[in-house]
Amino acid sequence: MHEHCDDECCVEMEQAFLGAEVEDFLLKVYDPTEGAFGEVSLESLVEAEKWTVLFFYPADFTFVCPTELADLAAKQDEFEKLGCEVISVSTDTEYAHLAWRGSEKLLENVRFKMGADTTGELSRYFGVYDPDTGLALRGTFMISPEGILVSSEINYYNVGRNADELLRKLKANVYLREHPAEACPARWEPGKKTLTPSEALVGKVYESLGE
């Protein structure tokens, strides 16, 4: 992302696509753990071999948003154990993030970085920017340690998300990174049966799962 450049050098980001490499970005953040402002780039996360979850939400000081961030914060330790960096993102400034986190009791356990996409460039790249409001829709995007977009979900303003389901999808993707020939069926959890696609499985999924 280029926040300070003229028209000649500033190249707009393309659209993100599932299964494709995500363009590098540089995002200003408020880090509640450090109590300080900073920056985070996708390049640094890939170099650290981290999974990345970008959790877009409409705005600070709103209503559904703090319930979502609190739900996510309650699972942060589990995300971290899986090598995942969680970053919440809105079009608010990092200063607003600091103020909101300090005043909203629901956010007292939030330790993940809070990204400030004030230009809306990253929100546009992931297809969640609403030009009528200047806000981001509720978009969740999972990026592999190789920088590949492996999961996406977008909800409208009035429907909150479920951190348990996001964590389940992360576990599935972590497993599949180590077992690329397999596939995870609906409601898969670690320890449950997976599927190995082949001609022998066609029309025989029921038997393969032992149901």
**Catalytic annotation, residues:** 65
Question: What is d(CA 50, CA 44) in angstroms, rounded to the nearest whole number?
Answer: 9
DSSP E strands: which ranges in the chain?
26-31, 36-41, 51-56, 84-90, 113-116, 129-130, 135-136, 138-143, 149-155
Phi, psi (degrees; rounded to nearest 5) at 199: -65, -25
Short-list 190, 68, 82, CA closest to 142:
82
Which secondary structure element, helix H or strand E, spans residue 134, and what is its range?
none
Find residue 81's DSSP bridge partners: none
Pair 54, 141: CB distance under 8 Å: yes
- Residue 120 DSSP class: S
Region of residue 35 (phi > 0: left; psi between -120 and 50: alpha; otherwise: beta): left
- Helix intervals (H) in 82-132: 94-103, 121-125
